[in-house]
Amino acid sequence: MKNNDAIIILNEKCTGCTLCIKVCPFGAILIKDKKAVIDLSKCTLCAACVEACKFDAIIIRKKEKAVIDLSAYRDVWVFAEQKKGKVQSVVFELLGKGRELADKLKCNLCAVLIGENTQEGAKELIARGADKVYTVDSPHLKVFQDDPYTRVLTELVSKHKPEIVLCGATTIGRSLISRVAVTLRAGLTADCTGLDIDMKEKLLLQTRPAFGGNIMATIIAPDSRPQMSTVRHKVMQEAEHDPGRKGEIIEEKFPEATYASRSRLLDVVEEIEETINLAEADIIVSGGRGVGNKENFSIIKDLALSINGAVGASRSAVDADWIPYSHQVGQTGKTVCPKVYIACGISGQIQHLIGMKSADVIVAINKDPDAPIFGVATYGIVDDLFKVVPLLTQHFKKTLA
């Protein structure tokens, strides 16, 4: 009976040399009765073992390919998320990266703008590098709703066949693009930190962290189109604004039924955030478990205020109810990329580091010399934050006022 498993060890060739076990990043192989056995539940088919095996004893089954004409798909698309008619800044970062990809592929960079009164937004997108902007304008599309946006974007993609679609990893983006990808049977990779083109295969190489950022994976979608990726805010470089750039605005229209929505938006509630938006901030002062209690957090806030920075927090501080979740930086919080990140009383667990380690300058203040945060900090002070932080605040108040 033919073994249809995704990955197979040819027992007659396997010598039990354990080379595959050593290279497997997921610990998915073990030796049983002197032969290698793969735990299918842990294997991600990354093929590290296939490459490593000197005896060609491991094969990954050939995939049943869906037959689609890949050459019919051209152009790099960026979904231009808008809120209240304003194009979100993550889109400019996507256009920045999109330009690079389009240039390598020698194709167009296009943007898709769905909303109401989209003319201004479309012009902005062209100034930021889009060769074409597809707009879909309707009062029904003024605010994001799952059904209409999914249908519209899906129809546009089906009609124009872009080879790549990029989208911001925002609450709207992640929700929307997953649905579009499923309908189109397209490969979608979330939270990419790196995007590049394999020039030989003309494939999009999508790199993202996995296992809490302990490991990086490069992913491709070789047989399906479009290749779709979401990218977090502040990961890529923003495209420059060039008001002189020229581009084409293509207005698309759909029948009313396309804009129907099964759910109804009853209200939009804005919660007043403290002055500076964390995700956009250039300077962030963060407090962790070392801060001790809710009252002490004022020390962190004072420092942030003195330096015109935003206040961040580790998960410990948020879980202890010292500061709201909107300030949480890390794997289950926000990713930030400021010029300066000052971590006070934060040990630097991997889940926190994921959210801030791309900051230009990291400062760590912690009385534990073995805290992992010192491993990534540009400058570190091993001392009591209650002594150092107020002094820092004083300095800034005097000299920056």
Partner 1 sequence: MKILVFIKQVPNTTDVKIDPVTNTLKREGVDSIINPFDMYAIEEAIRVKEKLGDAEVIAVSMGPQQAVEALKEAISMGCDRAILISDRKFAGSDTWATSYTLSQAAKKIGDYTIIFCGKQASDGDTAQVGPGISMHLDIPQVTYVKKIEKITVSSAVVERMTEEGYDIVEVPLPAVLTVVKEINEPRLPSLKGKMRAKKAEIPVWTAEDIGCDEKMIGLDGSPTRVVKIFTPPPRGGGRLLEGDPAETAKELAGLIKKEIIG
CB of 176 to partner 1, least distance (A): 8
CB of 365 to partner 1, least distance (A): 8
Of 159, 163, 279, 284, residue with least CA distance to 229: 163
CB of 192 to partner 1, least distance (A): 11
Of 119 and 275, CB closest to partner 1: 275
Of 226 and 247, CB closest to partner 1: 226
Of 158, 102, 92, residue with least CA distance to 131: 102
**Phi, psi (deg, nearest 5) at residue 29:** -115, 140
Of 55 and 379, CB closest to partner 1: 379
Of 126 and 362, CB closest to partner 1: 362
Of 133 and 184, CB closest to partner 1: 184
**Residue 224 near residue 68, CB atoms below 8 Å:** yes
CB of 159 to partner 1, least distance (A): 19
Of 283 and 313, CB closest to partner 1: 283
CB of 319 to partner 1, least distance (A): 9
- Residues 192 and 338: their CA atoms lie apart, in Å, by 19
Helix (H) / strand (E) element for 183: namely helix 171-184
Residues in Cβ contact with 54 at an 8 Å cutoff, skipping those fewer than 6 apart: 17, 19
Helices (H), 281-329: 297-306, 315-319
- Residues 19 and 12: their CA atoms lie apart, in Å, by 16
**Residue 328 near residue 284, CB atoms below 8 Å:** no
**Residue 285 near residue 307, CB atoms below 8 Å:** yes
CB of 11 to partner 1, least distance (A): 17
Of 200 and 253, CB closest to partner 1: 200
CB of 232 to partner 1, least distance (A): 11
- Residues 254 and 151: their CA atoms lie apart, in Å, by 10
| Residue bearing tokens 């909303």 | 115
**Residue 63 near residue 88, CB atoms below 8 Å:** no
CB of 163 to partner 1, least distance (A): 13
**Phi, psi (deg, nearest 5) at residue 10:** -85, 100
Of 64 and 244, CB closest to partner 1: 64
**Phi, psi (deg, nearest 5) at residue 380:** -130, 145
